[in-house]
Amino acid sequence: MRISRITLIIVLSCITTALAQDGASPTTFRLKPVVDGFDDPVGIASTSSEPSKVFVVERAGFVKVIEDGKLAKRDLLDIEAILSPRENPALSSIAFPNDYNTNKTLYISYTDKQGDTIISRFPTKRSETVDEESLMVVLKVVQPFPHTHYSSIAFGPDGNLYISLGDSPRKSGISSLAQSTRSLFGKVLRIDLTDPNRYAIPSDNPFAKKADAAPEVWALGFQQPHHMSFDAPSKRLFLIDSGREIQEINVVERGKNYGWSTLEGGECASAKCDVSTYTPPIFSYKSAAQGHGVGGFVYNGSNHPTLKGSYLFADSSMKTIYALSQSGSEWKKRDVATSTFQVTAIGPGGDGEIYVATADGTVSTLVQ
């Protein structure tokens, strides 16, 4: 039977569409190394005021700078002396305020030598590496038990600082605090940093006027929320939350309850529960042993139109980068690229393009 050229094109087009809908990508990407030699990179950050730079967070307390594709001679940050070498992570997150171009102040979250979670601010100077001498503590959360103290920070389009804190038991291994609005544990917080000497509570925080709740709380019900990022066009806050077995990707909204420890991955964690009273993740999956989600941001760059508007993430136990795209009320995952080594961080450069850190200490960019 003869098949016309037009018929063949239609058939091939249908096959390509089906593959894309089934999770495979009709476009192939690969990782192109930019700079190597990093030591345990755990985060990638940027600021639009410095589009030629990519900031690489190292767990031991350093933030190194890639500028115009080369490693800068001067580190942005060095606080190794005040971190706990036992906790994982130690230095976990860095954030630049929306007016960084004028105020030159950066913020970080880390675990100190006492094992407590600290949010601090640092004034920066172009000619110097920032260190612990210029540190100003914004928020200290005393950790009652040895734990994996994940935290993350991000500035929202409203100019406020959002802080994610992992859950902590009331007693070792017993009863979580994520559902208690009096506690900061297992929450996303929101604070106003207009006054450089002390933070204030935004008046529209959901618990700002409730005497029996912590006014800093913006949303609750998280286990180990360890990465947040805002999508500038939609102003949505994306968050990766690592559970005991399930990894979640959530869109965090004001006052909503995301379920832990009653829910995990949108399902009842142990006993029967009413799932309708909680907000489920937009996507969840079961990770391999010791794995956790690696995020992640919504891509709005110009080099890869097929990825525009997709949330990019990976898993620490795997070597694949994924794109999560919204189709109506559903979110669909597809493979984007495969790495030779485990992915440890994904983030945008100042130019909005995609940068990926891997376990061998290499930072790469995504090319088509």
CATH assignment of the domain containing 267: 2.120.10.30
In whole angstroms, what is the distance from residue 38 CA to residue 35 CA? 8
In whole angstroms, what is the distance from residue 316 CA to residue 344 CA? 6
pLDDT at 243 over 70: yes
pLDDT at 13 over 50: no
In whole angstroms, what is the distance from residue 313 CA to residue 345 CA? 8
Q: Which residue has the higher pLDDT, 282 or 26?
A: 282
Structural domain contains residue 95? yes
Tokens matching residue 181: 């609005």
Structural domain contains residue 322? no
The predicted model gives 323-327 an average pLDDT of 96
Q: Write the pLDDT tens digit of every residue in 119-159.
A: 999 998 776 888 888 899 999 999 887 776 789 999 999 99
Structural domain contains residue 9? no
Say if CB 83 and CB 60 are below 8 A apart. yes
pLDDT at 2 over 50: no
Tokens matching residue 178: 């994520």
Q: Write the pLDDT tens digit of every residue in 249-303.
A: 999 999 999 999 999 999 998 778 999 999 999 999 998 877 889 989 999 999 9
- pLDDT value at position 8? 35
- pLDDT value at position 278? 97
pLDDT at 172 over 70: no
List, as one string, the DSSP characters of 238-307: EEEEE-SSEEEEEEE-TT-B--TTTEETTEESSS---GGGSPPPSEEEEPPTT--EEEEEE---SS-GGG
pLDDT at 15 over 60: no
Q: Write the pLDDT tens digit of every residue in 191-209.
A: 999 998 899 999 999 999 9
Closest CA to 110 of 179, 158, 163, 54: 163
In whole angstroms, what is the distance from residue 229 CA to residue 156 CA? 9
pLDDT band at residue 173, thresholds of 50, 70 and 90? low
Domain that includes residue 154, residue range: 39-294
Q: What predicted TM-score, i.e. pTM, was given to this entire model?
A: 0.91
Q: Which residue has the higher pLDDT, 17 or 91?
A: 91
- pLDDT value at position 27? 53
- pLDDT value at position 200? 98
Mean predicted lDDT score pLDDT of the chain? 89
Tally of domains in the chain? 1
Structural domain contains residue 76? yes
- pLDDT value at position 26? 47
Q: Which residue has the higher pLDDT, 56 or 134?
A: 56
- pLDDT value at position 88? 67
pLDDT at 19 over 60: no
Structural domain contains residue 20? no
Structural domain contains residue 121? yes
Structural domain contains residue 59? yes
- pLDDT value at position 17? 32
